[in-house]
Chain A
Amino acid sequence: MCHALEHGGPDDEGIYSDENSGLVFGHRRLSIIDLSKNGHQPMSDVQNKVWITFNGEIYNYLDLKEKLVSLGARFNSNTDTEVIIQAYLHWGMSSFSKLRGIFAFGLYDTEKKRTYLVRDSSGVKPLYYHIEDTELSFASEVRALKKAGIATEADKSWQVRFLAYGHIPEPYTTQKDVFSLPKGEFLCWDHKKDTFEIHSYHVANSPAKIYDVLEARELIRTGLTRAVERQLVADAPIGVFLSGGTDSSIITLLANQHQLAQLKTISIFFNEKAYDERMYQNLVLEEIKGEKYAHLVRQEDFEEFLPQIIGDMDMPTTDGINTWFISRFAHQDGLKAVLSGVGADELFGGYPSFSRIKFLKKLRQFPPVSFSAARLFSSDKYRKISFLTYNHPIADYLLLRGHYSPTDIADILNMDLGEVEDILFNNKSISRIKNYNEEDAAWLELNLYMQNQLLRDTDVMGMSHGLEVRVPFLDEDFKAIAERISIDIRFDENQPKKLLIDSFNNLLPRAVWDRSKMGFTFPLQQWMREHHEINDESSYHGKRARKIVKDFKKNTMHWSKVFALYQIQRYV
């Protein structure tokens, strides 16, 4: 398993085993804090009461360390790993909620004979587990469980989910009985009984809502500044991804204010004029000190690296190509960690779904059956309306964000429609949508799209280059502030992310935000249409699939749908 994860942990390797409990921890290290041998993992306390294998970063480790020292804790290293151990020894399970950062760890308590698997509350770091009879296995990537021969059987439903979502949504994976641990939760395995429980470690509180716009702006400014500041902690070189959009520009400008050493920025540009963001990137770059790395990605690069990108995905996804390239450049430029702007669109309403959801509310007032004829539409765009025949929150999400409709999926995979519907909608874990307002849209975007697609892809693509991607907008405390803000001031009908932009209007050049949204976008429609394998309809199985590729070549189909098909073909 360790070997399968070497790409994400090139710096060190370690194994701990306890035969009495039948337990083994393996670790591959990417060293960012305390680069010395002191950071070797799996790590234990001096008395070997607790062992840990930890992936990620604890940003408030110095604050916690100070508190622990005052309680009598002694430290042997400068790592954040040791802080988790001491926090657990002093505070037990309640230590988990004191951690601020991006993390996934396995911690073995040798006295209680319990293993805890714990995942950060924003779900940035992945943690996959597999339970069979009396055995628990876990890893940070699915392929490690696959390669170790622990979970070799494929989940029969993954293709259906993948074609509907464009990725495989949590908690599912490509492998049977391999699940992703929900964010903010922990799994406790009792070695004496071989039983387990999964619970949230969140500490309950219901803070007051913020109704005043000036107060909200002030809290956003101080909260995000603090989040950026604490995420710059590192003993290895750290940088910022700059796309040219609002969110990464804010992060870059804030990091520039705090960075003691000079800030390194990484950006990408293209020969394709419509995708060239250099003008906006330069507006921000002019404001900052430090080394600025701009890299050209050409169509040839895309063709050359596509097989490797697909190989690095761990699980199929229609996104992540952009992150793969920028992570590669960041790695080449000597960085081990970077800050990214992910999360702002979800928290402050940067997506079209925030306005579309109100329209959806109106449509939902009709009986579901009125939309069943929509599956007969020939235009792909309108066929998605058939999701309204399903009275289910997943159907709402898929209408806003989905790729293929159930009828299309049944056609492509040559399955019964009922079977496809059962796979997609037999999910009771989601029951949130009530009001069909911006808050519900934010919930769907944060918990489904960002969680399952953006964060997973970002982490896996970063780690494939030994690069940790940090996300200040998802700092626990900052996110809590954003979610306290009343929806009336948090979202604006006419201008996406108005509150966020207004909060930083002294910092942010107007031209960066006062334009149509671009996103971190590659010219993939063109590149894929001209890709000799992707556009070769004869290599696809089934009439429906070939028709989709033909439509794509006529430019009436989005690249991400064909890319999904292309990956399915490769797996089959």
Chain B
Amino acid sequence: MSKKIILLTLQTFSTTGGIQKMTRTMAHSLDIISKQQQWDFKLWSLYDSRYDLMSEYLAKENFVGFGRSKMRLALDTISKGRKADILILSHINLALIGIIVKILNPKCKIWLVAHGIEVWRPLSFLKTSFLKKFCNQIICVSNFTKHQMIKWHNVGSSKCVVLNNVIDPFIIHPEEFEKPEYLLNRYSLTAENQVIFTLTRLASSEQYKGYELVIKAISHLKEKFSGLKYILAGQYDATEETRIKDLISSYNVKNEVILTGFLSERELADYFLLADLFVLPSKKEGFGIVFIEALSCGLPVICGNADGSVDAIRNGELGTAINVNDQDELEKTISSYLRSPLTVKTRQKLQKQCLQYFNENDYQQNLLRLIKDEPAA
């Protein structure tokens, strides 16, 4: 039977963060499934313009960028959106659209993707009513998020399905694991320098990523591990830049910490190769797509143990989760990784395991089953 599926998002291509990356992969998967099943799939993006589309993810004719025009979105929702069989909202802030479509067309199934902090908190009356009365299924990116949904919003467990994020289909998986020469040159490093790596948005408004713990740890570890470097990557705002630089001076780690600013996607895999260990002791990751990206390049990871990250490391099989309030535990864990240097074999093994658990092929099968409403295998 033919189906009409719409994935409605706030922003998919014009900025890059965990949610955007997850949405790109989901759109790509839905586009492929729909082609195979001869369904009709569209990705609607409120804040992207049509020029933002990255054409590798889906065909131009299946993408609508509303370029911030809420009026156009409202009109299209009423004229076309209501005809959908399944409407997937990529963010709780789109709840109103879900409600309108459900009222106009009660047969349409409304799904919501629940990522992380955007739903781990009390929500407005409109959003909670949406969850309870209008939404048919909630795709949770991790078990942690599922528990939070139940805890905060009292939604039925059967309404929530866990569908872990997977590796972006277009990220490069290296076959060789040498440290890229051009990056060694860029930061005046040699292959002997051990490198700890963090990649995250450095925003003054998001004080839960935990990189300050790593900066502090470096000040203690630098004596034990000579040549140790910490690459802290990601776009920062001016307030956060000042705060981080002050931290760096106060811990006296100017020579050890490298701030890179924004990293381009095309060099991302090379940064994972440059590093010996990925550390992001964050408190509020919905899933932490960056962990599986690091693992897919054979880079071991340390994450926090009190959020969605534990799904990304398969409860410890692929990495180590630590108590992010315990500075000592963080330092000990980093030390134990650094004491046994990474081999090519370890890297290969990690990469293989990661791709086995978090590949797009399985993701597509899971999505297909959900759409067809078949029980999990």
- Which residues from chain A sit less than 8 Å from chain B, CB to CB? 92-94, 97, 188, 197, 199-204, 206, 367-369, 390-392, 421-422, 425-428
Contact of A391 among B67, B185, B188 (CB under 8 A): B67
A203 touches B186 (CB 8 A): yes
- Is B267's CB under 8 angstroms from A199's CB? yes
In the complex, residue of chain B having the shortest beta-carbon distance to the beta carbon of A208? B245
- Chain B residues lying within 8 Å of A201, measured Cβ to Cβ, are 182, 185-186
Is the beta-carbon distance between A368 and B185 smaller than 8 angstroms?
A: no
Given contacts A94-B185, A97-B185, A428-B52, 15 further A-B contacts (CB under 8 A): A92-B185, A199-B182, A200-B186, A201-B182, A201-B185, A203-B187, A204-B258, A204-B260, A368-B68, A368-B69, A390-B49, A390-B51, A391-B68, A392-B51, A427-B51
Those of B26-60 within 8 Å (CB) of chain A: 49, 51-52, 54
A423 CA / B70 CA spacing, docked (Å): 26
| B51 and A422 within 8 A (CB) | yes
User: Are A202 and B259 interface neighbours, CB within 8 A?
Assistant: no
* Residues of B52-99 contacting chain A, CB below 8 A: 52, 54, 67-69
Q: Does B181 contact A (CB under 8 A)?
A: yes
Check B181 against A367 for contact (C-beta < 8 Å): no
Are A93 and B51 closer than 8 Å at their CB atoms?
A: no
Interface residues in B, total, Cβ within 8 A: 17
Q: Which partner residue on chain A sits nearest B262 by CB separation? A: A431
Partner of A204, one of B52, B67, B69, B187: B187
Bound together, the chains give a CA A426 to CA B182 distance in angstroms of: 29
Residues of A within 8 A of B67 (CB): 368, 391
Instruction: Please give the distance in Å from B88's CB to the nearest CB on chain A.
Output: 25
Name the distance in Å between B212's Cβ and chain A's nearest Cβ: 19
Main secondary structure of the interface of B (DSSP, over half): mixed
Shortest distance from the beta carbon of A115 to any chain B beta carbon, whole Å: 15
Among B51, B68, B267, contact of A426 (Cβ-Cβ < 8 Å): B51
A203 near B188 with CB under 8 A, answer: yes
Min CB gap B242→A, angstroms: 11
- Also in contact, A392 and B49, with CB within 8 A (given A204-B187, A368-B67): yes
Residue of B nearest to A369 (CB): B69
Q: State whether B49 touches A93 (Cβ < 8 A).
A: no
Seen from chain B, the residues whose Cβ lies within 8 Å of a Cβ on chain A are 49, 51-52, 54, 67-69, 181-182, 185-188, 258-260, 267
Q: Which residues of B contact A200 (CB under 8 A)?
A: 182, 186
Whether the pair B49, A202 counts as a contact (CB closer than 8 A) is no
**Minimum CB distance partner of A422 in chain B:** B51
Residues of B within 8 Å of A206, CB to CB, are: 259
A367, B259: Cα distance in complex, Å: 36
The answer on a CB contact under 8 Å between A204 and B51 is: no
In the bound assembly, the distance between CA atoms of A97 and B54 in angstroms comes to 32
Q: In the docked arrangement, what's the CA distance between A390 and B67, Å?
A: 9
Judge whether B186 and A202 touch: CB under 8 Å.
yes
Question: Top 4 nearest A-B pairs by Cβ distance?
Answer: A425-B51, A94-B185, A199-B182, A204-B186
Contacts known (A204-B260, A391-B49, A426-B51); A93 close to B68, Cβ less than 8 A: no
9 of the cross-chain contacts (CB-CB < 8 Å) are A197-B182, A201-B186, A203-B187, A204-B186, A206-B259, A390-B49, A390-B51, A422-B51, A427-B51
* Most chain A beta-carbon neighbours within 10 Å: one of B51, B68, B181, B258: B51
- CA separation between A296 and B106, bound complex, in Å? 81
**CA separation between A82 and B187, bound complex, in Å?**
26
Contact at A367–B69, with CB atoms within 8 Å? yes
- With both chains docked as a complex, state the minimum distance between the C-beta of B188 and any C-beta of chain A, in angstroms: 7
Q: Which of chain A's residues have a CB closer than 8 A to the CB of B188?
A: 203
Residues in chain B near residue A203, CB distance under 8 A: 185-188
Q: Which residues of B sit under 8 angstroms from A197, Cβ to Cβ?
A: 182
Q: Closest residue of chain B to A429, judged by CB?
A: B264
A93→B185 contact, CB < 8 A: yes
B182 close to A93 (CB less than 8 A): yes
In the complex, the chain A residue whose C-beta lies closest to that of B183 is A199
A321 to B293, CA, bound (A): 52
Give the chain A neighbours of B49 by CB distance below 8 A: 390-392, 425
Residue of A nearest to B49 (CB): A391
Nearest CB of A to B274, in Å: 12
Contacts of A390 in B (CB 8 A): 49, 51
In the bound complex, residues from chain B placing their C-beta under 8 Å from that of A368 are 67-69
Q: Specify which of A206, A391, A421 lies most central, judged by the most chain B CB atoms within 10 Å of its CB.
A: A391
Contacts of A427 in B (CB 8 A): 51
In the bound complex, residues from chain A placing their C-beta under 8 Å from that of B181 are 92-93
Nearest-neighbour CB distance to chain B for A392, whole angstroms, equals 6
CB distance from B98 to the nearest CB of A (A): 24
In whole angstroms, how far apart are the Cα atoms of A367 and B52 in the complex?
Answer: 18
Q: In the complex, what residues of A have CB within 8 A of residue B54's CB?
A: 428
B contact residues around A93 at 8 Å (CB): 181-182, 185
Query: With A and B bound together, what is the CA distance between A386 and B342 in angstroms?
Result: 56
